[in-house]
A and B are shown apart, each in its own frame.
Chain A
Amino acid sequence: MQLTRHSRGQTLPLWSLGIGLALVIAFAAVQYGQVLRWQIRAQNAADAAAAGALSVQTQQWNEQLAMVYAASVEEYRLEELLQGMMLAANNDTRCQAMPQQPGSQYSGCVGAFVALSTAYKAALARYTADVQLVSRTSQYTFANAENDANAIIADFQTHCGSSSGGDCAFSYTVTNISPRSNGLNDVEMSGNVWAINDGLPGTPKLDYTPAQIEIVTCAKVPPIVPSFLGFTPPTFTAVGRAAATSAMVEQEWLDPGVIVNPATGLAFQPPATYATGGQVESDGKDWFTVNYGGNPAKAYASADAFTVAFQADEFTAVTGWWSTIPIKPYMGTLSDSQYACKS
Protein backbone atom coordinates (compact mmCIF):
# COMPACT_ATOMS: atom_id res chain seq x y z
CA MET A 1 0.00 0.00 0.00
CA GLN A 2 2.82 2.42 0.89
CA LEU A 3 4.59 1.79 -2.37
CA THR A 4 1.43 2.38 -4.30
CA ARG A 5 0.80 5.68 -2.53
CA HIS A 6 4.35 6.92 -3.15
CA SER A 7 4.05 6.26 -6.86
CA ARG A 8 1.16 8.72 -7.26
CA GLY A 9 2.14 11.54 -9.68
CA GLN A 10 5.82 10.69 -9.67
CA THR A 11 6.37 11.13 -13.42
CA LEU A 12 4.99 14.67 -13.76
CA PRO A 13 7.97 16.45 -12.13
CA LEU A 14 10.33 14.43 -14.25
CA TRP A 15 8.44 15.22 -17.45
CA SER A 16 8.24 18.90 -16.49
CA LEU A 17 11.94 18.98 -15.87
CA GLY A 18 12.66 17.24 -19.15
CA ILE A 19 10.41 19.55 -21.14
CA GLY A 20 11.90 22.57 -19.43
CA LEU A 21 15.41 21.39 -20.22
CA ALA A 22 14.50 20.71 -23.85
CA LEU A 23 13.07 24.21 -24.20
CA VAL A 24 16.17 25.72 -22.62
CA ILE A 25 18.36 23.76 -25.05
CA ALA A 26 16.21 24.89 -27.98
CA PHE A 27 16.40 28.53 -26.90
CA ALA A 28 20.14 28.20 -26.33
CA ALA A 29 20.60 26.72 -29.81
CA VAL A 30 18.60 29.55 -31.36
CA GLN A 31 20.58 32.13 -29.42
CA TYR A 32 23.89 30.48 -30.28
CA GLY A 33 23.01 30.49 -33.97
CA GLN A 34 22.13 34.16 -33.64
CA VAL A 35 25.49 34.90 -32.04
CA LEU A 36 27.41 33.09 -34.79
CA ARG A 37 25.53 34.86 -37.55
CA TRP A 38 26.07 38.29 -36.05
CA GLN A 39 29.72 37.57 -35.43
CA ILE A 40 30.25 36.65 -39.09
CA ARG A 41 28.20 39.66 -40.16
CA ALA A 42 30.35 41.96 -38.02
CA GLN A 43 33.49 40.49 -39.55
CA ASN A 44 32.07 40.92 -43.06
CA ALA A 45 31.37 44.57 -42.34
CA ALA A 46 34.87 45.14 -40.97
CA ASP A 47 36.60 43.39 -43.88
CA ALA A 48 34.66 45.36 -46.49
CA ALA A 49 35.31 48.65 -44.71
CA ALA A 50 39.05 48.06 -44.38
CA ALA A 51 39.44 47.18 -48.06
CA GLY A 52 37.29 50.08 -49.23
CA ALA A 53 38.97 52.71 -47.09
CA LEU A 54 42.46 52.25 -48.49
CA SER A 55 41.34 52.42 -52.09
CA VAL A 56 41.76 56.19 -51.71
CA GLN A 57 45.50 55.60 -51.81
CA THR A 58 45.68 52.81 -54.39
CA GLN A 59 43.58 54.59 -57.00
CA GLN A 60 45.84 57.64 -56.85
CA TRP A 61 48.84 55.43 -57.49
CA ASN A 62 47.14 53.60 -60.36
CA GLU A 63 46.29 56.91 -61.99
CA GLN A 64 49.87 58.03 -61.59
CA LEU A 65 51.34 54.78 -62.92
CA ALA A 66 49.10 54.91 -66.00
CA MET A 67 50.41 58.37 -66.78
CA VAL A 68 54.01 57.40 -66.04
CA TYR A 69 53.62 54.64 -68.61
CA ALA A 70 52.09 57.02 -71.19
CA ALA A 71 54.89 59.52 -70.56
CA SER A 72 57.54 56.81 -70.93
CA VAL A 73 56.07 55.73 -74.28
CA GLU A 74 56.24 59.34 -75.39
CA GLU A 75 59.74 59.79 -74.04
CA TYR A 76 61.00 56.79 -75.97
CA ARG A 77 59.31 58.16 -79.10
CA LEU A 78 61.01 61.52 -78.57
CA GLU A 79 64.43 59.87 -78.31
CA GLU A 80 63.86 57.97 -81.52
CA LEU A 81 62.62 61.06 -83.33
CA LEU A 82 65.66 63.02 -82.17
CA GLN A 83 67.92 60.28 -83.50
CA GLY A 84 66.18 60.49 -86.84
CA MET A 85 66.42 64.28 -86.92
CA MET A 86 70.15 64.11 -86.22
CA LEU A 87 70.67 61.61 -89.03
CA ALA A 88 68.59 63.68 -91.42
CA ALA A 89 70.43 66.85 -90.46
CA ASN A 90 73.68 65.08 -91.26
CA ASN A 91 72.37 64.01 -94.70
CA ASP A 92 72.49 60.35 -93.76
CA THR A 93 72.59 57.95 -96.72
CA ARG A 94 69.39 56.34 -95.52
CA CYS A 95 67.30 59.44 -96.22
CA GLN A 96 68.97 60.89 -99.30
CA ALA A 97 66.70 59.02 -101.70
CA MET A 98 63.47 59.54 -99.77
CA PRO A 99 60.55 60.75 -101.89
CA GLN A 100 58.55 63.87 -101.11
CA GLN A 101 56.87 63.42 -97.76
CA PRO A 102 53.07 63.61 -97.43
CA GLY A 103 51.96 67.20 -96.90
CA SER A 104 55.45 68.51 -97.50
CA GLN A 105 57.15 70.20 -100.42
CA TYR A 106 60.48 68.61 -99.55
CA SER A 107 62.06 65.28 -100.35
CA GLY A 108 65.27 63.56 -99.31
CA CYS A 109 66.82 64.35 -95.97
CA VAL A 110 65.26 67.79 -95.82
CA GLY A 111 61.82 66.29 -96.20
CA ALA A 112 62.65 63.71 -93.55
CA PHE A 113 63.85 66.38 -91.16
CA VAL A 114 60.71 68.49 -91.60
CA ALA A 115 58.46 65.48 -91.06
CA LEU A 116 60.40 64.35 -88.03
CA SER A 117 60.53 67.80 -86.44
CA THR A 118 56.77 68.18 -86.85
CA ALA A 119 56.26 64.82 -85.16
CA TYR A 120 58.75 65.78 -82.48
CA LYS A 121 56.88 68.96 -81.57
CA ALA A 122 53.59 67.07 -81.38
CA ALA A 123 55.16 64.33 -79.26
CA LEU A 124 56.70 66.93 -76.99
CA ALA A 125 53.29 68.52 -76.46
CA ARG A 126 51.76 65.17 -75.59
CA TYR A 127 54.66 64.32 -73.33
CA THR A 128 54.19 67.61 -71.52
CA ALA A 129 50.49 66.87 -71.05
CA ASP A 130 51.41 63.46 -69.63
CA VAL A 131 53.94 64.93 -67.25
CA GLN A 132 51.43 67.52 -66.12
CA LEU A 133 49.04 64.72 -65.20
CA VAL A 134 51.81 62.84 -63.44
CA SER A 135 52.38 66.01 -61.47
CA ARG A 136 48.71 66.35 -60.59
CA THR A 137 48.30 62.75 -59.53
CA SER A 138 51.50 62.74 -57.49
CA GLN A 139 50.44 65.51 -55.10
CA TYR A 140 48.62 63.00 -52.91
CA THR A 141 50.37 62.74 -49.56
CA PHE A 142 50.19 60.12 -46.86
CA ALA A 143 48.36 62.66 -44.70
CA ASN A 144 45.78 63.01 -47.50
CA ALA A 145 45.34 59.24 -47.59
CA GLU A 146 44.93 59.10 -43.83
CA ASN A 147 42.39 61.92 -43.88
CA ASP A 148 40.44 60.44 -46.79
CA ALA A 149 40.37 56.92 -45.35
CA ASN A 150 38.87 58.31 -42.16
CA ALA A 151 36.31 60.27 -44.17
CA ILE A 152 35.37 57.18 -46.20
CA ILE A 153 34.81 55.17 -43.01
CA ALA A 154 32.68 57.92 -41.49
CA ASP A 155 30.68 57.91 -44.71
CA PHE A 156 30.24 54.15 -44.40
CA GLN A 157 28.00 54.87 -41.45
CA THR A 158 26.37 58.02 -42.78
CA HIS A 159 25.37 56.36 -46.05
CA CYS A 160 24.95 52.84 -44.74
CA GLY A 161 22.84 50.66 -46.97
CA SER A 162 23.81 52.58 -50.12
CA SER A 163 26.35 51.53 -52.73
CA SER A 164 29.11 53.48 -50.97
CA GLY A 165 27.96 52.58 -47.47
CA GLY A 166 28.37 49.81 -44.98
CA ASP A 167 26.11 47.66 -42.83
CA CYS A 168 23.69 49.88 -40.96
CA ALA A 169 23.68 47.57 -37.96
CA PHE A 170 27.22 48.47 -36.93
CA SER A 171 29.33 51.35 -35.81
CA TYR A 172 32.69 51.70 -37.54
CA THR A 173 35.84 52.77 -35.73
CA VAL A 174 39.22 53.31 -37.32
CA THR A 175 41.66 52.19 -34.65
CA ASN A 176 44.77 52.88 -36.67
CA ILE A 177 46.11 54.08 -40.00
CA SER A 178 49.85 53.95 -40.41
CA PRO A 179 52.60 53.36 -42.93
CA ARG A 180 53.24 49.67 -43.49
CA SER A 181 56.73 49.02 -42.25
CA ASN A 182 57.38 45.47 -43.40
CA GLY A 183 58.50 44.48 -46.87
CA LEU A 184 55.29 42.91 -48.08
CA ASN A 185 55.19 42.89 -51.86
CA ASP A 186 58.07 45.28 -52.43
CA VAL A 187 59.04 45.55 -56.05
CA GLU A 188 62.34 46.79 -57.32
CA MET A 189 63.28 47.72 -60.82
CA SER A 190 66.76 48.82 -61.59
CA GLY A 191 68.35 48.76 -65.01
CA ASN A 192 67.41 45.44 -66.51
CA VAL A 193 66.54 43.48 -63.39
CA TRP A 194 63.16 43.25 -61.83
CA ALA A 195 62.89 41.49 -58.48
CA ILE A 196 60.15 40.87 -55.99
CA ASN A 197 61.01 40.58 -52.32
CA ASP A 198 64.67 39.85 -52.90
CA GLY A 199 65.44 40.52 -49.27
CA LEU A 200 66.12 44.20 -49.74
CA PRO A 201 62.85 45.96 -49.02
CA GLY A 202 62.93 49.54 -50.15
CA THR A 203 62.45 52.53 -47.93
CA PRO A 204 60.36 54.91 -50.00
CA LYS A 205 59.38 58.35 -48.78
CA LEU A 206 56.33 58.48 -46.57
CA ASP A 207 53.96 59.67 -49.31
CA TYR A 208 54.81 56.57 -51.33
CA THR A 209 54.65 54.14 -48.46
CA PRO A 210 51.71 51.71 -48.55
CA ALA A 211 49.23 52.38 -45.77
CA GLN A 212 47.71 49.85 -43.44
CA ILE A 213 44.44 50.29 -41.64
CA GLU A 214 42.64 48.50 -38.85
CA ILE A 215 38.93 48.80 -38.28
CA VAL A 216 36.53 47.61 -35.60
CA THR A 217 32.82 47.15 -36.21
CA CYS A 218 30.54 46.69 -33.25
CA ALA A 219 26.86 46.27 -32.45
CA LYS A 220 24.89 45.45 -29.30
CA VAL A 221 22.54 42.69 -30.37
CA PRO A 222 19.43 42.14 -28.26
CA PRO A 223 18.69 38.51 -27.41
CA ILE A 224 16.37 36.65 -29.73
CA VAL A 225 14.93 34.75 -26.77
CA PRO A 226 12.35 36.76 -24.81
CA SER A 227 12.52 37.33 -21.09
CA PHE A 228 10.80 34.66 -19.04
CA LEU A 229 10.29 33.99 -15.35
CA GLY A 230 12.18 37.14 -14.49
CA PHE A 231 15.21 36.08 -16.48
CA THR A 232 16.36 38.36 -19.28
CA PRO A 233 18.99 36.87 -21.59
CA PRO A 234 22.01 39.16 -21.86
CA THR A 235 22.68 41.45 -24.81
CA PHE A 236 25.31 40.10 -27.14
CA THR A 237 28.11 42.33 -28.44
CA ALA A 238 29.07 41.47 -32.00
CA VAL A 239 32.56 42.69 -32.77
CA GLY A 240 34.35 42.50 -36.10
CA ARG A 241 37.95 43.42 -36.48
CA ALA A 242 39.82 43.64 -39.77
CA ALA A 243 42.92 45.12 -41.28
CA ALA A 244 43.98 45.78 -44.84
CA THR A 245 46.93 47.24 -46.66
CA SER A 246 47.73 48.71 -50.02
CA ALA A 247 49.65 46.23 -52.13
CA MET A 248 50.81 45.84 -55.67
CA VAL A 249 48.37 43.14 -56.73
CA GLU A 250 49.72 42.80 -60.24
CA GLN A 251 53.26 43.26 -61.45
CA GLU A 252 53.61 43.67 -65.13
CA TRP A 253 56.40 43.54 -67.65
CA LEU A 254 55.20 44.49 -71.08
CA ASP A 255 57.21 44.50 -74.29
CA PRO A 256 55.31 47.02 -76.39
CA GLY A 257 55.74 46.20 -80.04
CA VAL A 258 56.18 42.49 -79.29
CA ILE A 259 53.36 41.40 -77.02
CA VAL A 260 50.11 41.13 -78.94
CA ASN A 261 46.98 42.76 -77.62
CA PRO A 262 44.45 39.91 -77.48
CA ALA A 263 41.59 42.32 -78.13
CA THR A 264 43.00 43.71 -81.37
CA GLY A 265 45.36 40.98 -82.54
CA LEU A 266 48.02 43.66 -83.05
CA ALA A 267 51.10 44.37 -80.99
CA PHE A 268 50.78 46.92 -78.23
CA GLN A 269 52.55 49.99 -79.67
CA PRO A 270 53.06 48.94 -83.27
CA PRO A 271 55.87 50.80 -85.10
CA ALA A 272 55.13 54.48 -85.71
CA THR A 273 56.56 55.69 -89.03
CA TYR A 274 57.12 59.44 -89.39
CA ALA A 275 59.17 59.72 -92.55
CA THR A 276 58.45 57.22 -95.26
CA GLY A 277 60.63 55.74 -97.94
CA GLY A 278 63.93 55.59 -96.12
CA GLN A 279 66.26 52.65 -96.34
CA VAL A 280 65.53 50.10 -93.64
CA GLU A 281 68.46 48.41 -91.97
CA SER A 282 68.61 44.64 -91.59
CA ASP A 283 67.86 44.90 -87.88
CA GLY A 284 64.70 46.88 -88.53
CA LYS A 285 66.12 50.20 -87.36
CA ASP A 286 65.86 52.93 -89.92
CA TRP A 287 65.71 55.77 -87.37
CA PHE A 288 62.62 57.19 -89.04
CA THR A 289 60.36 54.55 -87.58
CA VAL A 290 59.83 54.22 -83.85
CA ASN A 291 60.17 50.52 -83.21
CA TYR A 292 59.30 49.55 -79.66
CA GLY A 293 59.91 45.87 -79.74
CA GLY A 294 62.49 43.25 -79.03
CA ASN A 295 63.30 42.19 -75.51
CA PRO A 296 64.56 38.62 -75.22
CA ALA A 297 63.79 38.29 -71.53
CA LYS A 298 64.32 35.04 -69.69
CA ALA A 299 63.30 34.17 -66.19
CA TYR A 300 65.66 32.39 -63.87
CA ALA A 301 64.37 28.95 -63.10
CA SER A 302 65.24 29.19 -59.42
CA ALA A 303 64.40 32.78 -58.57
CA ASP A 304 61.60 35.23 -59.00
CA ALA A 305 63.63 37.56 -61.17
CA PHE A 306 64.39 38.25 -64.79
CA THR A 307 67.48 39.16 -66.71
CA VAL A 308 67.69 40.73 -70.10
CA ALA A 309 70.36 41.98 -72.44
CA PHE A 310 69.81 45.13 -74.43
CA GLN A 311 70.52 44.01 -77.99
CA ALA A 312 68.71 46.58 -80.05
CA ASP A 313 66.69 49.73 -79.69
CA GLU A 314 63.83 48.69 -77.49
CA PHE A 315 61.34 49.85 -74.95
CA THR A 316 60.17 47.60 -72.17
CA ALA A 317 57.74 48.61 -69.48
CA VAL A 318 57.98 47.38 -65.93
CA THR A 319 55.09 48.52 -63.83
CA GLY A 320 52.50 47.37 -61.35
CA TRP A 321 49.00 48.06 -60.21
CA TRP A 322 47.69 48.61 -56.72
CA SER A 323 44.72 47.44 -54.77
CA THR A 324 44.01 46.51 -51.18
CA ILE A 325 44.49 43.12 -49.59
CA PRO A 326 43.43 41.88 -46.15
CA ILE A 327 46.08 41.41 -43.49
CA LYS A 328 45.99 40.23 -39.91
CA PRO A 329 44.89 42.88 -37.39
CA TYR A 330 48.07 44.33 -35.97
CA MET A 331 47.04 46.58 -33.08
CA GLY A 332 47.18 43.93 -30.39
CA THR A 333 44.65 43.84 -27.59
CA LEU A 334 42.05 46.59 -27.74
CA SER A 335 40.02 47.85 -24.81
CA ASP A 336 36.31 48.57 -25.08
CA SER A 337 37.00 52.30 -24.86
CA GLN A 338 38.95 52.23 -28.13
CA TYR A 339 35.92 51.63 -30.30
CA ALA A 340 32.29 52.66 -30.48
CA CYS A 341 29.47 50.15 -30.31
CA LYS A 342 26.06 50.70 -31.82
CA SER A 343 23.15 49.87 -29.48
Chain B
Amino acid sequence: MQIVTRSRGQALAETALALPVFIVAMFAVVWALKAGVLGERVELAARYGGMVSAETNPYVQYSLYAAYEAAAGSPVGAPCATAPPALVVDGAPIAAPGQQTNAFFSATNDTSSGTSSCGTAISTAAGLTAPMVLGYTNVGVTASNDIPDFLQSILGSSTTQWSASVNELYSPTMATLFACYPELAGAFEASVAPPSPAAVPSTEPIPVPSTGALNLSSSCASQN
Protein backbone atom coordinates (compact mmCIF):
# COMPACT_ATOMS: atom_id res chain seq x y z
CA MET B 1 0.00 0.00 0.00
CA GLN B 2 2.85 2.37 0.74
CA ILE B 3 4.39 1.74 -2.65
CA VAL B 4 1.09 2.34 -4.37
CA THR B 5 0.72 5.58 -2.53
CA ARG B 6 4.21 6.82 -3.62
CA SER B 7 3.66 5.88 -7.27
CA ARG B 8 0.27 7.37 -7.65
CA GLY B 9 0.37 10.62 -9.62
CA GLN B 10 4.00 10.33 -10.65
CA ALA B 11 3.20 10.10 -14.36
CA LEU B 12 0.94 13.08 -13.98
CA ALA B 13 3.71 15.02 -12.30
CA GLU B 14 6.17 14.10 -15.01
CA THR B 15 3.69 15.08 -17.69
CA ALA B 16 3.06 18.37 -15.95
CA LEU B 17 6.78 19.07 -16.04
CA ALA B 18 7.49 17.85 -19.54
CA LEU B 19 4.40 19.03 -21.41
CA PRO B 20 5.23 22.77 -21.34
CA VAL B 21 8.72 22.03 -22.57
CA PHE B 22 7.33 19.81 -25.30
CA ILE B 23 4.80 22.46 -26.34
CA VAL B 24 7.53 25.07 -26.50
CA ALA B 25 9.60 22.73 -28.64
CA MET B 26 6.66 22.12 -30.97
CA PHE B 27 6.03 25.84 -31.30
CA ALA B 28 9.71 26.21 -32.11
CA VAL B 29 9.16 23.82 -34.99
CA VAL B 30 6.19 25.88 -36.17
CA TRP B 31 8.17 29.11 -35.87
CA ALA B 32 11.12 27.60 -37.73
CA LEU B 33 8.84 26.61 -40.61
CA LYS B 34 7.23 30.04 -40.79
CA ALA B 35 10.53 31.83 -40.60
CA GLY B 36 12.17 29.57 -43.14
CA VAL B 37 9.38 30.07 -45.65
CA LEU B 38 9.44 33.86 -45.29
CA GLY B 39 13.22 33.97 -45.52
CA GLU B 40 13.10 32.04 -48.77
CA ARG B 41 10.35 34.27 -50.17
CA VAL B 42 12.34 37.41 -49.36
CA GLU B 43 15.34 35.97 -51.19
CA LEU B 44 13.11 35.12 -54.16
CA ALA B 45 11.59 38.60 -54.18
CA ALA B 46 15.07 40.10 -54.46
CA ARG B 47 15.83 37.64 -57.23
CA TYR B 48 12.83 38.66 -59.31
CA GLY B 49 13.50 42.32 -58.63
CA GLY B 50 16.96 41.85 -60.08
CA MET B 51 15.63 39.96 -63.07
CA VAL B 52 13.09 42.60 -64.08
CA SER B 53 15.62 45.37 -63.56
CA ALA B 54 17.86 43.94 -66.27
CA GLU B 55 15.29 44.58 -69.00
CA THR B 56 12.97 47.24 -67.69
CA ASN B 57 11.97 48.80 -70.99
CA PRO B 58 13.98 48.10 -74.13
CA TYR B 59 12.13 50.86 -75.99
CA VAL B 60 13.49 53.64 -73.80
CA GLN B 61 16.76 51.92 -73.03
CA TYR B 62 17.89 50.62 -76.39
CA SER B 63 16.30 52.26 -79.42
CA LEU B 64 16.85 54.97 -82.01
CA TYR B 65 14.21 56.95 -80.14
CA ALA B 66 16.39 56.81 -77.04
CA ALA B 67 19.44 57.67 -79.12
CA TYR B 68 17.81 60.71 -80.76
CA GLU B 69 16.62 62.04 -77.42
CA ALA B 70 19.88 61.42 -75.61
CA ALA B 71 21.97 63.03 -78.33
CA ALA B 72 19.69 66.07 -78.26
CA GLY B 73 20.37 66.47 -74.55
CA SER B 74 16.99 65.30 -73.29
CA PRO B 75 17.55 61.62 -72.47
CA VAL B 76 14.53 59.44 -71.93
CA GLY B 77 14.40 58.44 -68.30
CA ALA B 78 14.56 54.71 -67.82
CA PRO B 79 12.63 53.92 -64.64
CA CYS B 80 14.56 52.30 -61.87
CA ALA B 81 13.02 48.88 -61.42
CA THR B 82 11.54 48.47 -57.98
CA ALA B 83 11.85 45.35 -55.95
CA PRO B 84 8.55 43.48 -55.83
CA PRO B 85 7.89 43.20 -52.10
CA ALA B 86 4.31 42.18 -52.92
CA LEU B 87 5.81 38.87 -53.88
CA VAL B 88 6.01 38.16 -50.18
CA VAL B 89 2.32 38.96 -49.72
CA ASP B 90 0.37 37.62 -52.66
CA GLY B 91 2.80 36.54 -55.33
CA ALA B 92 2.47 39.74 -57.37
CA PRO B 93 3.82 40.58 -59.83
CA ILE B 94 4.63 37.03 -60.77
CA ALA B 95 1.04 35.89 -60.38
CA ALA B 96 -0.19 39.46 -60.91
CA PRO B 97 -1.63 39.23 -58.25
CA GLY B 98 -2.05 35.71 -57.08
CA GLN B 99 -3.81 34.17 -54.16
CA GLN B 100 -3.24 35.92 -50.89
CA THR B 101 -0.54 34.27 -48.87
CA ASN B 102 -1.91 32.16 -46.07
CA ALA B 103 -1.85 34.18 -42.88
CA PHE B 104 0.31 31.58 -41.22
CA PHE B 105 3.14 32.24 -43.69
CA SER B 106 2.63 36.00 -43.94
CA ALA B 107 5.08 38.59 -42.80
CA THR B 108 4.36 40.71 -39.75
CA ASN B 109 1.33 42.92 -40.48
CA ASP B 110 1.34 41.41 -43.95
CA THR B 111 3.94 43.94 -45.03
CA SER B 112 7.34 43.95 -46.59
CA SER B 113 9.44 46.68 -48.10
CA GLY B 114 11.56 46.98 -51.16
CA THR B 115 14.28 49.38 -52.17
CA SER B 116 16.15 49.92 -55.37
CA SER B 117 18.83 52.26 -56.56
CA CYS B 118 20.04 52.60 -60.12
CA GLY B 119 23.03 54.22 -61.65
CA THR B 120 26.11 53.90 -63.73
CA ALA B 121 29.21 52.15 -62.49
CA ILE B 122 32.61 52.50 -64.09
CA SER B 123 34.74 49.42 -63.87
CA THR B 124 38.46 50.01 -64.01
CA ALA B 125 39.30 46.42 -63.23
CA ALA B 126 42.86 45.31 -63.79
CA GLY B 127 43.30 43.81 -67.22
CA LEU B 128 40.45 45.65 -68.97
CA THR B 129 41.25 46.95 -72.43
CA ALA B 130 39.60 50.24 -71.38
CA PRO B 131 37.38 51.36 -68.49
CA MET B 132 33.95 49.81 -68.89
CA VAL B 133 30.59 51.41 -68.28
CA LEU B 134 27.98 49.28 -66.55
CA GLY B 135 24.42 50.01 -65.62
CA TYR B 136 23.44 48.72 -62.20
CA THR B 137 20.30 48.25 -60.15
CA ASN B 138 20.67 47.35 -56.52
CA VAL B 139 17.51 45.70 -55.27
CA GLY B 140 16.75 45.06 -51.62
CA VAL B 141 13.79 43.41 -49.89
CA THR B 142 13.02 43.13 -46.19
CA ALA B 143 10.27 41.51 -44.16
CA SER B 144 9.93 40.13 -40.68
CA ASN B 145 8.20 37.38 -38.73
CA ASP B 146 6.73 37.68 -35.25
CA ILE B 147 8.33 35.38 -32.74
CA PRO B 148 5.84 33.79 -30.32
CA ASP B 149 5.96 35.42 -26.89
CA PHE B 150 7.18 32.35 -25.08
CA LEU B 151 10.10 31.99 -27.52
CA GLN B 152 11.15 35.62 -27.37
CA SER B 153 13.08 35.21 -24.14
CA ILE B 154 14.90 32.21 -25.59
CA LEU B 155 15.71 33.82 -28.93
CA GLY B 156 16.24 37.29 -27.50
CA SER B 157 14.08 39.10 -30.02
CA SER B 158 10.44 39.77 -30.79
CA THR B 159 10.80 39.50 -34.56
CA THR B 160 12.91 37.66 -37.06
CA GLN B 161 14.17 40.10 -39.66
CA TRP B 162 14.82 38.87 -43.19
CA SER B 163 16.60 40.84 -45.86
CA ALA B 164 18.06 40.08 -49.24
CA SER B 165 19.72 42.14 -51.92
CA VAL B 166 20.94 41.70 -55.47
CA ASN B 167 23.21 43.97 -57.48
CA GLU B 168 22.20 43.47 -61.09
CA LEU B 169 24.60 44.73 -63.76
CA TYR B 170 23.70 45.20 -67.40
CA SER B 171 24.60 46.92 -70.63
CA PRO B 172 24.50 50.70 -70.37
CA THR B 173 21.47 52.31 -72.00
CA MET B 174 21.73 54.60 -75.01
CA ALA B 175 21.33 57.58 -72.71
CA THR B 176 24.21 56.35 -70.57
CA LEU B 177 26.43 55.64 -73.56
CA PHE B 178 25.86 59.11 -74.98
CA ALA B 179 26.39 60.75 -71.59
CA CYS B 180 29.57 58.79 -70.98
CA TYR B 181 31.04 59.17 -74.45
CA PRO B 182 30.56 62.79 -75.62
CA GLU B 183 32.29 62.03 -78.94
CA LEU B 184 29.54 59.53 -79.70
CA ALA B 185 26.73 61.90 -78.77
CA GLY B 186 28.29 64.83 -80.62
CA ALA B 187 28.80 62.96 -83.89
CA PHE B 188 25.34 61.36 -83.74
CA GLU B 189 23.59 64.65 -83.07
CA ALA B 190 25.57 66.43 -85.80
CA SER B 191 24.36 63.89 -88.35
CA VAL B 192 20.70 63.62 -87.34
CA ALA B 193 20.30 67.33 -86.65
CA PRO B 194 23.01 69.16 -88.61
CA PRO B 195 23.64 72.78 -87.71
CA SER B 196 22.21 75.38 -90.07
CA PRO B 197 23.85 77.07 -91.82
CA ALA B 198 26.32 74.27 -92.37
CA ALA B 199 29.83 74.82 -91.11
CA VAL B 200 32.21 74.34 -93.99
CA PRO B 201 35.26 72.30 -92.95
CA SER B 202 38.61 73.98 -93.32
CA THR B 203 40.45 70.82 -94.33
CA GLU B 204 39.74 67.98 -96.65
CA PRO B 205 38.12 65.17 -94.63
CA ILE B 206 40.41 62.31 -95.59
CA PRO B 207 42.19 61.44 -92.34
CA VAL B 208 43.75 58.12 -91.45
CA PRO B 209 41.18 55.76 -89.87
CA SER B 210 41.15 56.08 -86.09
CA THR B 211 41.61 53.15 -83.76
CA GLY B 212 41.70 54.51 -80.19
CA ALA B 213 39.12 53.75 -77.50
CA LEU B 214 36.41 56.35 -76.92
CA ASN B 215 37.14 58.98 -74.30
CA LEU B 216 35.13 58.50 -71.12
CA SER B 217 33.41 61.55 -69.66
CA SER B 218 34.40 62.43 -66.11
CA SER B 219 30.72 62.90 -65.20
CA CYS B 220 29.74 59.49 -66.49
CA ALA B 221 29.19 57.70 -63.17
CA SER B 222 26.35 60.01 -62.16
CA GLN B 223 24.17 58.91 -65.09
CA ASN B 224 21.56 56.22 -65.00
Residue positions of A touching B, CB distance < 8 A: 1, 4-5, 7-12, 15-16, 18-19, 22-23, 25-27, 29-30, 32-34, 36-37, 40-41, 43-45, 47-49, 51-52, 55-56, 58-59, 62-63, 66-67, 69-71, 73-74, 77, 102-103, 118-119, 121-133, 135-137, 139-140, 144, 147-148, 150-152, 154-155, 158-159, 162-167, 249-250, 252, 254, 261-263, 268-269, 272, 274, 317, 319, 321-325
Contacts and interface: CB of A to CB of B under 8 A. Distances in A.
Nearest to A50: B169
17 contacts: A5-B3, A7-B10, A15-B15, A30-B35, A36-B36, A36-B39, A62-B177, A63-B184, A66-B178, A127-B205, A136-B210, A164-B121, A164-B136, A166-B167, A272-B194, A321-B58, A321-B174
Given A37-B40, A40-B47, A26 B4 contact: no
A29 B33 contact: yes
A85 to B, nearest CB: 14
B113 to A, nearest CB: 18
A44 B18 contact: no
B64 interface: yes
Chain B interface size band reads: 35 or more
Given A22-B26, A41-B164, A62-B62, A136 B214 contact: yes
B18 A15 contact: yes
Nearest to A38: B43
A151 B128 contact: yes
Contacts, number: 294
A40 B43 contact: yes
A129 B65 CA distance: 22
Contacts of B29: 22, 25-26, 29
B40 A55 contact: no
Given A30-B32, A164-B123, A321-B58, A147 B129 contact: yes
A19 B25 contact: yes
Interface of B: 3-4, 6-7, 10-11, 14-15, 17-19, 21-22, 25-26, 28-29, 31-33, 35-37, 39-40, 43-44, 46-47, 50-51, 54-55, 58-59, 61-65, 67-69, 74, 76, 119, 121-123, 125-129, 132-136, 138, 164, 166-172, 174, 177-178, 181, 183-184, 187-188, 190-192, 194, 197-201, 205-207, 209-214
